[in-house]
Structure 1
Amino acid sequence: MLHHDHLANYARALLLRRLRAQGRDVEHSRLWQVNAADLKARSLIRFEPRYICEKCNNGDGRGKDPNYRGRVSRMYPKSFSMNPQELLQVSRGSCWDTAASRIWRSARHEHRRRRLAISWWVQSIIEAEATC
């Protein structure tokens, strides 16, 4: 399965949401196609898409599921994705919750920084296109 950083999904959804708020949602596909590669160039995603096994790919979803093992909230946001090396750590360990929690704690500040940078990036795209 192709595993990717869900910050890219977050960026695409944010671009659509902001364009829609301005009544410009028809521009979404074109703007995304033109600008999506910029996410990597600006280091806004943690890792390149990579083929991994289905079990590892699904290992990431447990932390995003608010109902996993009786949880009442997500361990981490939907926009966070473990990289392939981190997925190996949680899939091989005996305690998924402990390993995943450690990974999220070490990544959360950087994740928040990237989400904020994506917000600015999306706004710059919209403003630049409005002036053309």
Structure 2
Amino acid sequence: MALQWAILTYMVAVEAAVAILLTLPSPKALKSRIVSLISLVLQPLLFIIPFAAFQLLDIYWKNEHRLMCTGEICTAAERDRYEKSIYKAQRNAVLCIAACLLYWCIYRISKYYREIQRMEEVEKRFKDE
């Protein structure tokens, strides 16, 4: 199970780096190449959405079937383990949501940039006529 969370963590880190790369100011030629490369990679990386959704369902299922440790029957160690598992589940849920949100942001940024490029080309054609 830890491998799935490691993969998701690395994907969120890569998505954050790509989002920063897209939003940094750069020359037009370089920016257009970066956006075209990222646009090509976006479709195969769409697997992150169902993967994160499955992980969220897994968190939900485990939360519903988790043994509650709130009474006086539990020892301090059991209570600490229970609280640690709750914090871990919350962290993982935030990670899943961040993966989906960052993918959407990257998609929208690259789409807006392509639309701006098309509008500039249309404007250039009108100026040439």
Q: Normalization by structure 1: what TM-score? A: 0.34
| Structure whose alpha-carbon radius of gyration is higher | 2
Work out which structure has the larger RCO, using CA pairs closer than 8 Å and 6 or more positions apart in sequence: 2
Q: TM-score, normalised by structure 2?
A: 0.35
